[in-house]
Amino acid sequence: KSACGGDEALRREVENLLAYQRKASQFMDTPALDVAARMLARNKDRELVGNQLGPYEVLSLLGRGGMGEVYLARDTRLDRKVAFKVLPAELKDGPERMKRFVQEAKAASRLNHPNIITIHDIGQADGLDYIAMEYVAGKTLDELIPRKGIPLKVALPIAIQIAEALAAAHAAGIVHRDLKPGNVMVAEGGKVKVLDFGLAKLTERSKAFELELTETIQTESQSLTEEGMIVGTVAYMSPEQAEGKKLDARSDIFSFGSLLYEMFTGRKAFQGESNIETLSAILREEPDPVGQIVQGLPPEMERIINRCLRKDRERRWQSVADVKVALQELKEESESGRMATAETPQHKRRLGLIWTAGLLVFAIIVAATLWFVRPGSKPPTHSMAAIPFTTDPGWEMAPSFSPDGNQVVYVADGGMADWGIYIKRIGSGSPLRRTKSPSVEISPVWSPDGDSIAFLRGLGSNKAAVLMMPTLNGPERKLAEISIPFDLLGFRHGSILRWLRGGKWLVTSDKGPADGSISLIRVSVDTEEKHKLTTPPAGWVGDFNPALSPDGHSLAFARFSASQTSEIYVLPISNSLSPDGQPRRLTFDGQLDSMPAWTADGREIVFVRGTNHIYGLWRINAFEPGTPEPMPFAGEGAISPSISRQGNRLVYVQWSFDTDIWRVDVSDSQEKASAPMKLISSTRTDHEGKFSPDGKRIAFVSYRSGNSEVWVCGSDGSNPVAVTSMNGPLISELNWTPDSQRISFSAVEKESTFFYIVGAQGGRPVLFSEGSDPNWSWDGQWIYFSSRRSGQAQIWKMPVRGGNTLQVTHKGGVSPLESKDGKTLFYWKGDSLWNVPTQGGEESKVLDLVYQDCFAVGHNGIFFIPEPLETDTLSIIHSGHLSIQYYDFASGKTRRILDLPKDRYIGYGFDISPDERSILFTLDSGSIGSDLMLVENFK
């Protein structure tokens, strides 16, 4: 039997002879049967070698296995060598073997990858079925693994290439199911080819992310006709494969772990004296730690292998592409000499001898590092380019990658306010619409296994439903309801729904009934129960935008304050998916930092930073204190980043808009208004128009030079001139000095906000102080501003000629504006307008639901733009039925002055002329919308 190798026909012949021997031992003996088997094999080879099958001349036998013989042959048409696999005629009678033979050809032929064997041809000749494939001169991996394993330097390039081959197969919807060293060919020069897709499961390419495997698996000695049995090579099976369960790509990851274990140790991870004992070990036992077998192996390598070999597939690597990235990083560290290895006692003794010298070297390195990172030096940057991924009319928002990184799910309105969830494959044409509901739907996100998409649907009355649906077809399932102002779920705040590791829980935001704050919660997919994860402290509105780290143990999120600023926090997560400590604050800039996304290596977080609806992408170290860095390639209006699990792709929303400054004239009684007139416009953003106190000029912020700068023009919009050239900082919050000679403004620089003063004729801006929202008292003696120096955004004031800075508010507030008589300070807090006496006193609410920076105080009342009573996602994008209104101090009543144009965006910036006859406000140019942008070479 041993002489027959994997030849099933010869094996059956010998088994028949052995059965006869047991009945008539006087006629036969075992040595004679061995000789007979070898003779049968040699005779079979002689029948094909030297002959021609179709266009192929058979040259020699390369090997023999359960699926037939493999020969070296020559393609007479192209005069090239091929590996020629033949299914012997005696095996054709088994329909399942024939099926597997054809399946191998189909599976491999669908894959065009340098690390996967290429199929040239499949055919039939002289009653034999054959596959002609790429010939690789080399050895299989099992022939190359020595008794003590392959050295790390040699093994890592091989492992990375195998992972690349598996990643390509999985992305095409193919699971190998028989990965082992014998099915990996290593050519001369180290090139790797993965072979033998005879057991592979094929799925439709358009359903590559489903990986729903319905075929069963069997033992090598059984046919494929019995459900729940196993096929393949026992020692490399996954636990689910050994139990005859449905398989997905994670089964190959377990087999890959067994292969890696053997590569580095020279031993099989699981091996018993029989197949039953080996299967039992796979299901119940853990292999000996790699680090105990191989001295000096990096702990990271052991961790990679151990995670591949987790019995529970939910705790394994969820994508072989992630394994590849980890191996690549390990290889880079190894080649750079930075890699840490497991210490042996001998190593520890040596460390003691070189400790003093090490300190000296360290000091030199620190000194050199400080020199090279001194102010003015810049680290090298990688060139990254963004290309449009969607170009449809209207809005496309909240993108999220599929697990394989080849598809994106997002929401869009098609330019008709007809919102739905869409799926689009990278490199393909039209997207697939997945939902069609009259309610607004947001935050779609793919499940870790790719089978489902979770999303939110508005229910009205500040509620939303958490829903889940199959990726392609099938009914929706409602998991929970959340209570939250639904406008916060939309454009500005990105996605607020994410999966936790394992795919059994979702994390989102919910408003607590007790204190009214909004916390992160997790929702069970199975039981629909809720568990609270965070509790915002006093002064903070709530927690949004959860993003789980690649290892599943850290949850980044945005914490929003009452003053409409937000910061990025990171919460450690335990194995039980509960908080493992307090959230750690990552950003401290006092602006709007939100929508975090982890890089694939878990080292950095990409997030959105901005103010006044001018946003951009930034990145920051996830675990060490540091300064955020902008990502210039994204440009103005970039929000909602999503990074593929493989780490090589970034998709984000590019908010394309052009706002202009409009003017409307009102009557003395503030009861009538003229038709709105566009006053200041360009092809770039113009906003925040402010009249000078003498009424002769208007200051405004414009991006027409490529950066946000302060500009000044005549009161009729004529002769616009730039008065700053800051070339980078985000400028906002303009206000004139009472003498109309200077302009104060805020500028976001790195992680802080400062306010400056510049002459109305131009010149070098003078830094005044840290803080934002600078505004002047009417007598010119004080300057008000907002600052978080007390831990919460409050209004402060400082004397212009020097002296102590005084805190004005104690319950939060931004956007200060003094009354004409100088007795009252008005400010904005929590969607409402408040006031406080300038000399100190009780802080009280004046008006509910006022847009931030969309109010101006006159002599007898307040001009303002109110927020609608009922808001939804669209209210952030379209003005709907918004209006300019007037609140009269004497009567305490409000009246409508003017209805604003419908379906237009209202931007920041609002002011009245000194004579209170004209109002300036910001309105979009009519071409507002968004596209999804894709970065293929993201680093």
Q: Confidence band (pLDDT; 50, 70, 90) for 376?
A: very low
- Kindly tell me if the per-residue pLDDT of 690 is higher than 60: yes
Percent of all residues in the chain with a pLDDT value above 70, rounded to a whole number: 78
**164: CB partners within 8 A, 6+ apart:** 113, 115, 324
Q: Confidence band (pLDDT; 50, 70, 90) for 320?
A: very high
Sign of the dihedral through C-alpha 498, 501, 502, 505: negative
506's tokens: 């979702």
- pLDDT, tens only, 72-87: 999 988 889 998 888 7
Average pLDDT over residues 364-391: 52
Average pLDDT over residues 343-368: 37
Q: Is 686 known to be catalytic?
A: no
Residue-level pLDDT at 87: 74
Rounded to the nearest integer, the mean pLDDT of the chain is: 80
Residue-level pLDDT at 872: 40
Residue-level pLDDT at 474: 83
Q: How far is CA 752 from the centre of its chain?
A: 27
Q: Is 832 buried (19+), middle (13-18) or exposed (0-12) by CB count in 10 A?
A: middle
- Kindly tell me if the per-residue pLDDT of 555 is higher than 90: yes
162's tokens: 């195998």
Q: Is there a contact between 505 and 577 (Cβ–Cβ < 8 Å)?
A: yes
**399: CB partners within 8 A, 6+ apart:** 389, 408, 409, 410, 640, 642, 651, 652, 653, 932
Residue-level pLDDT at 307: 93
Q: Confidence band (pLDDT; 50, 70, 90) for 532?
A: very high
Q: Is there a contact between 743 and 703 (Cβ–Cβ < 8 Å)?
A: no
Distance (Å, rounded) from C-alpha 663 to C-alpha 668?
Answer: 16
- pLDDT, tens only, 459-491: 876 788 999 999 888 889 999 998 876 544 444
Q: Return the closest-CA partner of residue 859 out of 785, 922, 782, 913.
A: 913
The SS3 assignment for 109 reads helix
Q: Return the closest-CA partner of residue 607 out of 634, 581, 644.
A: 634
Q: Return the closest-CA partner of residue 58 out of 36, 75, 79, 77.
A: 75
- Kindly tell me if the per-residue pLDDT of 100 is higher than 50: yes
Residue-level pLDDT at 4: 59
Q: Is there a contact between 684 and 732 (Cβ–Cβ < 8 Å)?
A: no
Instruction: Output 387 or 33, whichever has higher pLDDT.
Output: 387
Distance (Å, rounded) from C-alpha 827 to C-alpha 857?
Answer: 10
Percent of all residues in the chain with a pLDDT value above 90, rounded to a whole number: 38
In 528-551, which positions are buried (b, 16+ CB within 10 angstroms) versus exposed (e)? eebeebbebeebbbbbbbbbbbbe
- pLDDT, tens only, 28-38: 444 555 555 54
- Kindly tell me if the per-residue pLDDT of 308 is higher than 60: yes
- Kindly tell me if the per-residue pLDDT of 301 is higher than 60: yes
Average pLDDT over residues 20-25: 55
Report the residue count for the chain. 939
Residue-level pLDDT at 105: 62
What pTM does this model have? 0.47
- Kindly tell me if the per-residue pLDDT of 363 is higher than 50: no
Which segment of 266-275, 316-325, 361-370, 865-874 scores lowest on mean pLDDT? 361-370
Q: Confidence band (pLDDT; 50, 70, 90) for 162?
A: very high
Active-site option among 7, 75, 129, 178? 178
Following CA atoms 182, 183, 185, 186 in sequence, which dihedral angle do they give, to the nearest 10 degrees?
Answer: -70
Distance (Å, rounded) from C-alpha 933 to C-alpha 808?
Answer: 44
- Kindly tell me if the per-residue pLDDT of 10 is higher than 50: yes
Distance (Å, rounded) from C-alpha 839 to C-alpha 206?
Answer: 69
